[in-house]
Structure 1
């Protein structure tokens, strides 16, 4: 599905009876161009006949952080206490939001639940996410609170020198505010949580929806402890080496330790583990099937968004009914596409693009 087709589909989901001319005007394209996109969506099965009747299918709900990424990079060496020539780049970010964008770009029906301020950053986050195909209808927009921001400063080589994150608005995503969305959450075919959520909200979600496939992104070593009491409720967990060590207490020194770590997590109740090993690739296990896959030898430009692409691909693969080994390879291909892009989320992500990567770099 192209970016334009995703935009058409988003508008049709909001108003299936929208007149064709109005739809074309909102997109800023001609009616003939719109007809071409509609025909393509019909061939793909997303639009079913007249009246823009939309295909109903499985959907995922992603809950967690969304923030504006503000990155500053000096041209040369940073001089403290002075104004440094360089460039500043802003983009929509946040772990949950990035996972949701990857998932939507792969063609999955994706709804994001997060909190943003009623400010320019919040509006930009919503607009950028909608353009990427994410359903943002249930985002909490709050007056008097700033939208989450992640501010980083880098030297001329790209190395991060320091960063500041302000994600306090996520504390507003309480069980009381999530409870009215019970119908949406309970009917989801997958729930994706990141540990930027408060312990209280995570506990409420695990307790209430533990019967659903729950995918968890651990985010960081500092935040991974939040999920320790709820490991038995987790369907799919994707920690990196340090996050896994923090939870299981086993030093991950080499290949001989990977099965031991997986066994610990399965005893704790986690159904599927995808252990990120950095440059060594991934080790996956469901207790019966396990394997190690190396990183694909594709070009690397920016690894920042690779993990989010990997998780988004895992969720998409689950919704599509892919077996675990195929899911792991597909997710690695999506991560490789993200790592080969300057942007955190690769705008050209698709199942076809991932398949081309696997054909070029089989694993």
Structure 2
């Protein structure tokens, strides 16, 4: 099938329905509080794609979406936002994935990611890389919702050897899945402080130390965030840090994806490393304050 548009970036990973319950005040385990429950397109790859699309880029999605009613609705939503959906794998025997989270003013209380269909689809989602997208050397945003086996395969795959790989772990519990990319020649890793520690089996107290340690393992580039504290970028002999503006937190889900997309977009437009990092931190602060899409 010919693509309806030429993509600027491939977003590979979870595209699903986000079901998010939010309460305006602080919450703890066991609380039962009034709030709002929304169902919106989500998943790490999708969140990144939506943010990139808002910045004027055209993402193509490589994922698995079931051939059920929820999948049909999700596919229409993706196409309606201007994303390239021509290469999405649609298995007949797997349901569309979901993510469910509870958030309070004090952040994420609990979440469950049901990305089993994406995991079971395996390398079927990568089929376009040997056909319509063969020879791709541009940007690729890849998330850790894929299985360890598939991520290991991608890290060694010649089809991705010259691509500009941007990696997101999806959650702290999946950070270790990205270890095969620590020695990849073009990989840029976007992680928070906890995820950096899990990757290297240690504990860090600041983003600069974590980013430097990741680079020492052979990583091409590392961007490490630390909530409201300074974020850092390490590459080559350069280390940059930037402290985000202080804002009231109204939402958490998707914040890391927003950071990654804002940074990618800024670099795609020619921003300096310093400006790209600052742009990403400012965009994320705006997002978690509830003042953006």
Fold conserved (TM > 0.5)? yes
Question: Is 1:252 aligned with 2:200?
Answer: no
Match of 1:206? 155
Q: Deviations over 1:263-285 (max 9, x none)?
A: 33223221211111111031111
- 2:39 and 2:153 map into 1 onto residues whose CA distance is 33
Taking a change above 3 Å as real, the CA distance of residues 75 and 276 of structure 1, as seen in their structure-2 partners, is closer
- Are residues 1:303 and 2:255 paired? no
* Superposed counterparts of 1:341-356, under 5 Å: 341=290, 346-347=292-293
CA distance in 2, matches of 1:272, 1:75: 37
Q: Give the corresponding residue for 1:9.
A: none
Is contact 1:103–1:316 with CA below 8 Å preserved after alignment?
yes
Deviations 1:171-202, CA, capped at 9 Å, x for gaps: 23322452343241532411111000012221
Q: What corresponds to 1:235 in structure 2?
A: 187
> Equivalent of 2:121, from 165, 173, 178?
173
**CA RMSD in angstroms, aligned pairs only:** 2.9
Report the CA distance shift for 1:230/1:70 in structure 2 as closer, same or farther (over 3 A).
same
* Offset of residue 73 of structure 1: 5.6
Q: What TM-score does the superposition give when structure 2 sets the normalisation length?
A: 0.85
Q: In the alignment, is residue 219 of structure 1 matched against residue 177 of structure 2?
A: no
- In structure 1, the partner of 2:225 is 276
Structure 1 portions without partners, runs of 5+ = 1-12, 15-53, 348-363
- Structure 1 pair 298–172 and aligned structure 2 pair: CA distance change class (3 A): same
How many residue pairs were aligned?
284
Q: 2 CA distance for matches of 1:159 and 1:129? A: 27
Answer 1 or 2: which has greater helix percent.
1
Report deviation, 1:127. 2.0
**Alpha-carbon deviations, 1:113-158, whole Å to 9, x = none?**
1111112221222222222222111111222321111123567x68
Structure 1 length-normalised TM: 0.70
1:267 aligned to 2:216? yes
TM-aligned CA distance change 1:60 to 1:329, over 3 Å? same
Task: Tell me how far 1:222 sits from its aligned partner.
Answer: 1.9
Go from structure 1 to structure 2 and tell me whether the alpha carbon gap of 1:312 and 1:160 turns closer, same or farther (over 3 Å shift). Answer: closer
Q: What are the Cα deviations for residues 296-352 of structure 1, in whole angstroms up to 9, with x where unaligned? A: 23454223222111111222233223221121112122212321327xxx43xxxxx
* Aligned-partner Cα distance in 1 for 2:279–2:24: 37
Which residue does 2:284 correspond to in 1?
A: 335
Higher relative strand content:
2
Alpha-carbon deviation of 1:60? Answer: 0.7
- Which runs of 5 or more residues in structure 2 are unaligned? none
- Corresponding residue SS for 2:141: strand
Give SS of 1:71's match: strand
Which stretch of the first structure deviates more once superposed, 85-94 or 238-247? Answer: 85-94
Displacement over 6 Å in runs of 4+: 74-78
Q: Structure 1 pair 267/210, CA: closer, same or farther in 2 (3 Å)?
A: farther
